Amino acid sequence: MASVGKGDNRPVPRRLVTLFQRFSSIGVILGVLVPIAVITAIHYGTSHEHHWVHDVMRRAYYLPIVVAAIRMGLLGGLASATLVTGVYVPHAFLVHHHFDPARNLEKILEIALYYTVAVVAGYLSDRENQRNAELQQALDEQQSLTKQLVRAGRLSALGEVVAGIAHEIKNPLHALAGTAEIVDPIIPQDANERRMWDIHRREIERLGRVAEQFLSFAKPKPIKTEPIDLVVVAKRFVTLVDAQARQKGIQISIAKTSESTTVFGDLDQLAQICLNIAVNAIKAMDDHVGGQIEIRMGRETLKGKSMAFLRIENNGPAIDEVNLEHLFDPFHSGGDGAGLGLSISSQIAEQHSGFIEAENTDMGVAFTLYLPT
């Protein structure tokens, strides 16, 4: 439960709206509003000769005030104390058959005590909520750190194996590509075997690309750092995917930003991250009519750190929960890919002290690359 009192940084009008919503929740209606209504009804319905009933009812109001303060913090406590005062004052001072000048001071003190109890209980409840929130945040951070460590360990072990395999593939592949180049002009363009030969060459090329990808996963290239505007990164990778996107009827748009989005990094490698994300988006929208990719850049403060971001959002189908959990794991593919694109991308982002976030949005799917400015 988010606190609405101390430690809540939202503007007061929004906190009041939240408070109003909470007051209409079933728990608060049963724990606060119904008891206040019942106590008030007994209070007003009992004749003034039964002093003891009125004494008990006046004190019974503390119960809903404390419940409100515990459930909704300081603001909730104060709101319920005000409500209780509102229903109690006419009874205490205005209804003539209950009018009792001798006990006025006692009644005023009682109202002051309603507020005191509300403030103390509300303050304690807010403090407790704040502590719980801090504890939860620390726990979340620790869990994400543990996940990162496990992943880093798995990646380095995998990296060694993959590097070995890629190396073993690359040497014979080199020989195959070389001989194919020599044989190619010998096979006439109109020969029956030509179609099979073209498949042969295409597959050799594809294997070469996969081996290259395996190697860049296993042995990340060192990064050159220079000041780069993310707008330049966006333009670079859009040039690379534009033709492929247009062929599939997908529109790519880049939103302008007035914020400075300069980061320190390696232009080629940052463009590589975006390229991997964009190629995935294009693949995901294969059967989608009216496909769109929107690119947006800007700045955000995350945990007190100023970060620039580049967001690539497409209007294709959402990623299911299980897939979303493992998107950045090496060799995890929801299709027929090697499952390395996003894993390599997140490695590069980490080398730049940044990270990538993936989420399903109203539009479809969004990947955001965050980098320190």
Ligand X SMILES: Nc1ncnc2c1ncn2[C@@H]1O[C@H](COP(=O)(O)OP(=O)(O)OP(=O)(O)O)[C@@H](O)[C@H]1O
Q: Minimum distance from CB of 149 to ligand X (Å)?
A: 21
Paired tokens of 304: 């007190």
Burial 320-336 (b: 16+ CB within 10 A, else e): eeeeeeebbbbebbbee
Residue 276 near ligand X by CB under 6 A = yes
- 256/295 Cα distance (integer angstroms): 9
Pairing of strands 292-302, 251-254: parallel
- Supply 81's token pair: 């104390």
Positions in 261-280 near Mg ion (CB under 5 A)? 280
340 binds ligand X (CB under 6 A): yes
Q: Which residue is nearest to Mg ion (CB)?
A: 341
Q: Decide if residue 78 touches ligand X (CB under 6 A).
A: no
Give the type of residue at 197. W
Residue 333 contacts which entry, ligand X, Mg ion, none (Cβ below 5-8 A, type-dependent): ligand X
Spatial contact of 341 and 333, defined as CB atoms under 8 Å apart: no
| 3 interacts with ligand X by CB under 6 A | no
d(CA 215, CA 304): 36
Q: Under the criterion CB under 6 A, does residue 272 sit at the interface with ligand X?
A: no
Determine if 316 is a binding residue for Mg ion (CB under 5 A).
no
Tell me the closest approach of the beta carbon of residue 290 to Mg ion, in angstroms.
Answer: 22
Interface mask toward ligand X for 296-335; x: CB under 6 A? ------------------x-x--x---x---x----xxxx
Window 280-299: contact mask with Mg ion (x via CB under 5 A): x-------------------
Please state, in angstroms and rounded to a whole number, the distance separating the CA atoms of residues 80 and 70. Answer: 11
Interacting partner of 340 out of Mg ion, ligand X, none (Cβ under 5 to 8 A depending on kind): ligand X
At its nearest, how many Å lie between ligand X and the CB of residue 329? 8
| Closer residue to ligand X in complex, CB, 82/361 | 361
In the set 60, 173, 176, 338, which binds ligand X (CB under 6 A)? 338
Angle between the 194-218 and 341-351 helix axes, to the nearest 10 degrees? 30
CA dihedral 223, 242, 325, 345 (to 10 degrees): -10
The reply on whether position 28 binds ligand X by CB under 6 A is: no
In sequence order, the 6+-apart residues with CB closer than 8 A to the CB of 23 are 29, 32, 33, 72, 76, 79
Rounded-to-integer distance, Cα 105 and Cα 156, Å: 76
For residues 211 and 206, give the distance between their C-alpha atoms in angstroms, rounded to a whole number: 9
DSSP state string for 310-371: EEEEE-SPPPPHHHHHHTTSTT--SSSS-S-HHHHHHHHHHHTT-EEEEEE-SSSEEEEEEE
**Least Cβ distance, residue 250 to ligand X (angstroms):** 12
Q: Which of 65, 99, 95 is nearest to 79 (CA)?
A: 65
Q: Measured from the CB atom, is 49 or 287 closer to Mg ion?
A: 287
Applying CB under 6 A, does 292 fall inside the site for ligand X? Answer: no
CB of 343 to ligand X, least distance (A): 6
- For residue 278, the partner it binds in Mg ion, ligand X, none, with Cβ less than 5 to 8 A by kind, is none
**How deeply is 74 buried, as exposed, middle or buried, from its count of CB atoms within 10 A (0-12, 13-18, 19+)?**
buried
Restricting to residues 346-365, name those near ligand X by CB under 6 A. 365
Least distance in angstroms from the C-beta of 280 to Mg ion: 4
Least distance CB 281 / ligand X (angstroms): 4
Closest distance between Mg ion and the C-beta of residue 238, in Å? 17
Answer yes or no whether residue 341 interacts with Mg ion by CB under 5 A: yes
Selected range binding ligand X among 33-41, 180-188, 222-230, 274-282, rule: CB under 6 A: 274-282
Tokens 């303050």 sit at which residue?
123
Give the binding site for ligand X (CB under 6 A). 276, 280-281, 284, 314, 316, 319, 323, 327, 332-335, 337-343, 365
Give the binding site for Mg ion (CB under 5 A). 280, 337, 341
